[in-house]
Structure 1
Amino acid sequence: MEIKKALEMITLLSDGIDPQTGEVFPEESTYQNPETVRALFIAVKGLEKLEISEKRQKRLPENAGKGWDEEEEELLIEAFDNGKTIKELAELHKRTNSSIKARLIKLEKIAQ
């Protein structure tokens, strides 16, 4: 199940509405119990954060957050020494501009 669909269902439940029928749950229903409603609101907040995180992750380059191995560092140094820009290096290594800058600082190729 997609996060968006789960969020819609949990939101309806937290509002006391049956997501299948659209009917309001009776007052004696578990879904109308204040503790249950509070728990569902917490679940909604958690799903909203997860949805934001998932969207952000999809926008990041393929290798964002992954470790660097020695071979990739050597390729980075060689390309940098041959005049590639930060942007070009980021595209080449499928990483963010910030991660390229950080790695070049660590490798003492640029100053902080």
Structure 2
Amino acid sequence: MNADHFADSLTVLRKLAQGIDPRHDAPLAVDDPCQTPEVIRALFHAIRALETPAPKPRTPPQQAGKPWQPEEEQALLQRFVAGESITAIAREHGRSTGGIRSRLKYLGKL
């Protein structure tokens, strides 16, 4: 959806939530379904959701998804046996905490 259509859609939702017919800029009829509390509440939720910026996608760690080298596995095991946290090991290896746990399971350590 381009920016103009998005802005137009928000304008329509705002008018409906305020009890205004967006086609004629006149008040909605009292018995209009858009005048019910649950619909008004839903319209405000939709407006808030559309106005909230989408979260930025995370950049995966440098080594995420890459094959494990034998020397890297040895370093992983040494750190794990030494009691280093999974988070610290992940940071050091450029991998996710899930990737570290998965490798430790594969190696029979978890």
TM-score by length of 2: 0.48
**Where is the helix percentage greater, Structure 1 or Structure 2?**
1
Pair member with larger Rg: 2
